[in-house]
């Protein structure tokens, strides 16, 4: 069933300079060819160069017909879907930014009425709203991150009674000094902890000094113990500007892929070990470049990103981190991390190998640019979804 929902105000995944995003392209057109961006050594003045890559080396032998490329299959038209996650084995939960959660049933049919509606408790404006949902394996508890009416960051648990979600238990409530850089993503780690990405508090130029401050939860990845009501949330990694989306890949490592939204010039993806204390560099660095110091900066102890995308590259303004593909339908892209951009709307991927991004591929000329890409999703079989501000798109193979 394809059923439109109530339209919500335009959302911007993160700001680039000050509190405003660069405007999105006026028309969505497929990118021409495949572009790979080479990262220079860290410097305050280095430029980005480009080269071309034309194919992805298969990582799995398959009796399937040869893969010609990827395509999008529209699942539903929904106003501002924010995430799709597996639920109870054969279902998926769909969260929308206005504060509602729906069930996606067999063959991705959208149930007509939400199983949770907290729209009256959610400030849904700009970068604020219901920002993420997470479920631990086959657990009947659902965890969400949302902006309260007063602007506070709230992480809560809701219980499933077989029909709806109810009985909210607040795990974390945190004052936000500004309306932007509220972060977003929730995901469980292999240690059973629930991880949250939080921005630096908003404004521009790390206005509140949180990026390198390890005494605050802002500007970092935060760990919560959902099974111990007395445990306090703690800072796990820091030095982030606005990690709207990250992804913990349990199979390889485990590793954390953090897509951090940049400010003036560069978006970035870091791939780091699943370990405490990693410093991602903001505001000392933006991408692989010194942010404030024209003559260079001290990067001792900083983990630099493996990918940076410059503003102006295919309309880039605000990176939308995705997932590491672990499904079975497209074995040729197993282990690829996919990402996009809120303004650019492209689809790109790479594999992480020996500390570097390899097999860097731009799929945009095949799938097209569907609009403003706000998020990604995954179903119970590991298949991947791209979420724009008004559509849910499943990524499918094109085998001719």
308-353 pLDDT, tens per residue?
A: 999 989 999 999 999 999 999 999 999 999 999 999 999 999 999 9
211 confidence band (pLDDT: 50, 70, 90)? very high
Q: What is the pLDDT of residue 400?
A: 77
Task: Tell me: pLDDT of 86 over 50.
Answer: yes
- Higher pLDDT, residue 296 or 22: 296
- Higher pLDDT, residue 386 or 53: 386
* Percent of the chain scoring above 90 in pLDDT: 77
- Higher pLDDT, residue 60 or 139: 139
Task: Tell me: pLDDT of 33 over 80.
Answer: no
What is the average per-residue pLDDT within 62-82? Answer: 92
Q: What is the pLDDT of residue 295?
A: 82
Q: What is the pLDDT of residue 108?
A: 67
Mean pLDDT value across the chain = 86
In three-state form (DSSP H/G/I as H, E/B as E, the rest C), the secondary structure along the chain is: CCCCCCCCCCCCCCCCECCECCCCCCCCCCCCCCEEEECCCCCCCCCCEEEECCCCCCCCCCCCCCCCEEEEEEEEECCCEEEEEEECCCEEEEEECCCEEEEECHHHCECCCCCEECHHHECCCCCCCEEEEEECCCCCEEEEEEEECCCCEEEEEEEECCCCEEEEEEEEEECCCCCCCCCCCEEECCCCCEEEECCCCCCCCCCCCCCCCCCCCCCEEEEECCCCCCCCCEEEEECCCCCCEEEEECCCCCEEEEEECCCCCEEEEEEEECCCCCECCCCCEECCEECCCCCCCCCCCECCCCEEEECCHHHCCCEEEEEECCCCCCHHHCCCEEEEECCCCCCEEEEEECCEEEEEEECHHHHCCCCCEEEEEECCCCCEEEEECCEEEEEEEECC
- Higher pLDDT, residue 284 or 32: 284
35 confidence band (pLDDT: 50, 70, 90)? very low
pLDDT in tens, 108-122: 678 889 999 999 999
pLDDT in tens, 152-166: 999 999 999 999 999
Task: Tell me: pLDDT of 24 over 80.
Answer: no
- Domain-by-domain residue ranges, the chain? 39-398
Please tell me the least confidently modeled range out of 16-30, 204-218, 227-241: 16-30
Q: What is the pLDDT of residue 247?
A: 98
What is the average per-residue pLDDT within 80-93? Answer: 93
Q: What is the pLDDT of residue 2?
A: 36
Domain at 39-398, CATH from 2.120.10.30, 3.40.50.300, 3.40.50.2300, 2.40.110.10? 2.120.10.30
Task: Tell me: pLDDT of 32 over 90.
Answer: no
Task: Tell me: pLDDT of 357 over 90.
Answer: yes
């Amino acid at each position: 069933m394809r059923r439109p929902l109530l339209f919500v105000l335009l959302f911007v995944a993160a700001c680039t300079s000050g509190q405003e995003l660069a405007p999105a392209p006026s028309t969505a057109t497929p990118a021409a060819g495949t572009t790979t961006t080479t990262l220079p050594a860290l410097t305050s003045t280095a430029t980005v160069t480009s080269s071309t890559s034309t194919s992805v080396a298969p990582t799995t032998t398959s009796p399937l017909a040869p893969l010609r490329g990827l395509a999008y299959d529209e699942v539903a038209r929904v106003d501002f879907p924010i995430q799709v996650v597996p639920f109870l084995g054969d279902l998926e939960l769909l969260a929308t930014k206005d504060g509602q959660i729906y069930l996606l049933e067999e063959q991705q049919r959208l149930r007509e009425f939400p199983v949770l509606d907290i729209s009256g408790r959610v400030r849904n404006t700009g970068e604020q709203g219901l920002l993420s949902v997470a479920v631990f394996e086959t657990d009947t508890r659902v965890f969400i991150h949302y902006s309260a009416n007063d602007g506070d960051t709230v992480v809560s648990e809701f219980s499933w009674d077989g029909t709806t979600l109810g009985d909210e238990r607040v795990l974390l409530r945190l004052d936000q000094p500004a309306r932007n850089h509220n972060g977003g993503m929730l995901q469980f780690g292999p240690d059973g902890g629930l991880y949250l990405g939080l921005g630096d508090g908003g404004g521009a130029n790390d206005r509140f000094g949180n990026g390198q401050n390890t005494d605050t939860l802002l500007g970092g990845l935060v760990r919560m113990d959902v099974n111990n009501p007395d445990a306090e949330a703690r800072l796990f990694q820091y030095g982030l500007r606005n990690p709207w989306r990250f992804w913990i890949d349990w199979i390889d490592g485990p590793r954390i892929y953090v897509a951090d939204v940049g400010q003036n010039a560069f978006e970035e993806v870091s791939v780091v070990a699943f370990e405490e204390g990693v410093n991602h560099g903001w505001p000392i660095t933006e991408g692989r470049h010194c942010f404030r110091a024209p003559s260079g900066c001290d990067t001792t102890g900083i983990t630099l990103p493996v990918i940076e995308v410059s503003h102006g590259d295919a309309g880039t303004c605000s990176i939308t981190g995705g997932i590491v593909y672990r499904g079975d339908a497209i074995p040729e892209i197993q282990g690829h991390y996919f990402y996009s951009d809120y303004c650019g709307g492209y689809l790109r991927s790479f594999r992480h190998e020996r500390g570097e991004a390899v097999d860097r591929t731009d799929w945009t000329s095949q799938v097209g640019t569907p609009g403003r890409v706000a998020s990604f999703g995954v179903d119970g079989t590991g298949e991947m979804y791209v979420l724009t501000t008004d559509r849910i798109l499943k990524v499918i193979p094109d085998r001719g």
